[in-house]
Structure 1
Amino acid sequence: MTDNTTHNNTEAKYAPAASPIATAPIQTSTQGITAHETTVPSRGDSMPAYVAAPEHADGPLPIVIVVQEVFGVHEHIRDICHRLAREGYLAVAPELYFRQGDASDFDDIQSLLTGLVAKVPDSQVLADLDHVASWAGRNGGDTTRLMITGFCWGGRITWLYAAHNPQLKAAVAWYGRLTGDKTLNSPQPPVDVATQLSAPVLGLYGAQDTSIPQESVETMRQALRAANARAEIVVYPDAGHAFNADYRPSYHQASAEDGWQRMLEWFARYGKSR
């Protein structure tokens, strides 16, 4: 009975569409950091967000905006914020679907994609992220050291934001779609903005990812080379999609751990220093 209760409580922390959930996903200690829910003013609305930071900061902190997976800001994204806070960052994960709905209301990925995610305009997301950056600067962060990382849906947004905000210092995109059909809400895939990147971008991808073919990764590489962009794409041969999602069967520990270290090194090289 005790085991079932613990497992159910764990399940409840994650979006239902992400099931099945691993029995022991990574849970980062919050000792030495502060972490809580908050709201960010954006375009006349109060956008829910999760924020984590070191308890004792000596001056404004470097900022990392954490862009959610397709599943929204659930436990995995909150834990990513904890991990970044323990590395000395002010980490903020905004609920970027909040105007259109709640990812936790959907039981499967397909209904989540069609019933919610497809309704969220890129233009709205990029504007909301600008407000997150401004909010972070007023709440303990240093906007001259602004960075972003995102996963899955958020990986694609990370590429777009690196072309949108000229104040951004560094970006790390985890398995975000690079090409694809254009819609009214998503008019530009990342490959179309390769010439507009204003911040160095590190892309982390899995060779076994059936949703992001290697042909599209190579197309992006060619576009980045043609644009002489400050960007690097790393492909892990044994990893599939969502290889950093330690709460899902897709988790590939060796690739995830290497990707995390590469991300920290990228941020330290391009964005963390004053």
Structure 2
Amino acid sequence: MTASATDSLTATTIHLTGHDGADVEAYLARPHGDQARGGVVVIHHLPGYDRATKEIVRRFAELGYDAICPNLYSREAPGADPSDAAATARAQGGIPDERLVADVATAAAYLRGLSTSNGRVGVIGYCSGGRQSVLAACHLDLDAAVDCYGAFVTGEPPEGFPLKVTNLVDQLPDLRAPLLGLFGAEDKAPSPEHVRELEEILTRLGKPHELHSYDDAGHAFFAVDRPAYRVAAANDGWERIAAFFERHLGA
């Protein structure tokens, strides 16, 4: 059975135990019913574990998936306002890659442990979460990955960049899941050149992928609460995401 849209769902805050024993807050949304379905791990953007991200989690539940978003800043600033927590994490250089992978693994295992799971789990991330979605798919057995304008999958961070990140070029040979990438042609990080480099690498490696760029969009074009929002690009992007996950996360 593939995912089916529904307007009947439940959403709640839960707590996961991280690989290091830490308490990790997470937002879970599930459609009503006991039919088998796939799961989606949502990786929030750098502004944090905020209302806009929780709306995205609920949207995936409306599309028929069990969806969860771990608060990546639970350790740095438990219970803090999302913007304050993000500032704290940024000041510390961001989230270490190893910990991100472990937190996504914990969230994916939680989804696969639900009685409604069909065993398939995808991951999606926005902004910094886009890079982290690709990172997770290079290290974990996931069934699909979506990168929404994640910077530094390719390309080098500029000198003085506040986050301690490297590109993922050397890790792309280990990509384990089909990848959907959605980008703005007016973006600078990732730039169109970075997207072309990613396309060339994935093609050379024989990795299943679909990359799409929107001429009228820059960074954060999915963000309905920001001036960067672009209706046409976001609507088309959501259609592509829905079709991609239905293809790869259906039973």
- Same fold at TM > 0.5: yes
Q: Tell me which residue corresponds to 1:76.
A: 52
Higher gyration radius (CA): 1
| 2:110 aligned with 1:132 | no
User: Does residue 149 of structure 2 align to residue 171 of structure 1?
Assistant: no
Contact 2:39 2:111 in 1 (8 A): yes
* Matching residue's letter, 1:247: D
**Alignment-derived partner of residue 249 in structure 1:** 227
Distance 1:147 1:76 in 2: 20
Structure 1 residue 213 corresponds to structure 2 residue 191: yes
1:188–1:40 CA distance, 2 compared to 1 (3 A): same
Give the length in aligned residue pairs. 239
Q: Please report how far the alpha carbon of residue 211 of structure 1 lies from its aligned counterpart in structure 2 after TM superposition.
A: 2.6
Question: Displacement of 1:45 after TM fit?
Answer: 1.7
Distance 1:172 1:66 in 2: 10
Q: In the alignment, does 2:8 pair up with 1:32? A: yes
Distance 2:128 2:116 in 1: 25
Once the two structures are TM-superposed, the CA of residue 142 in structure 1 deviates from its matched residue by 2.1
Matches within 5 A, 1:1-274: 31-43=7-19, 44-58=21-35, 60-101=36-77, 104=81, 106=83, 111=87, 114-116=90-92, 118-142=93-117, 144-165=119-140, 167-177=141-151, 178-179=153-154, 180-181=156-157, 188-272=166-250, 274=251
Root mean square deviation of aligned Cα: 2.4
Paired amino acid for 1:237:
D
What's the CA shift string for 1:211-230, capped at 9, x where partnerless? 32111111111111111111
CA-CA distance at 1:131 after TM superposition = 0.9
- Once the two structures are superposed, what CA deviation does each residue of 1:30-60 show, in whole Å capped at 9, x if it has no partner? 95100011111112122100000112232x4
Q: Which amino acid aligns with 1:56?
A: G
1:47-94 Cα deviation digits (max 9, x unpaired): 100000112232x43100000011122111110111110111000000
Q: Which region of structure 1 is more displaced relative to structure 2, 167-176 or 137-146?
A: 137-146
- Aligned counterparts of 1:214 and 1:112: Cα–Cα separation in 2: 31
CA distance in 2: counterparts of 1:114 and 1:228, whole angstroms: 35
d(CA) in 2 for partners of 1:74 and 1:105? 6
Kept in 2, the 8 Å contact 1:48–1:94? The answer is yes
| Equivalence for 1:27 | none
Deviation at 1:188, TM superposition (A): 4.4
Unaligned ranges ≥5, structure 1: 1-29
> Measured at CA, do residues 41 and 203 of structure 1 come closer, stay the same or move farther in structure 2, by a change above 3 Å?
same
> Is contact 2:17-2:24 (8 Å) kept?
yes
Q: Percent identity?
A: 33
Q: Kindly tell me: are residues 216 and 112 of structure 1, through their superposed partners in 2, closer, same or farther at Cα, counting changes over 3 Å?
A: farther
How many Å separate the matches in 1 of 2:119 and 2:189?
35
Between the aligned partners of 2:117 and 2:63, the Cα distance in structure 1 is 15
- Which of the pair is proportionally richer in helix? 1
Shift of 1:141: 4.7
Give yes or no for contact 2:128–2:150 (8 Å, CA) kept in 1: yes
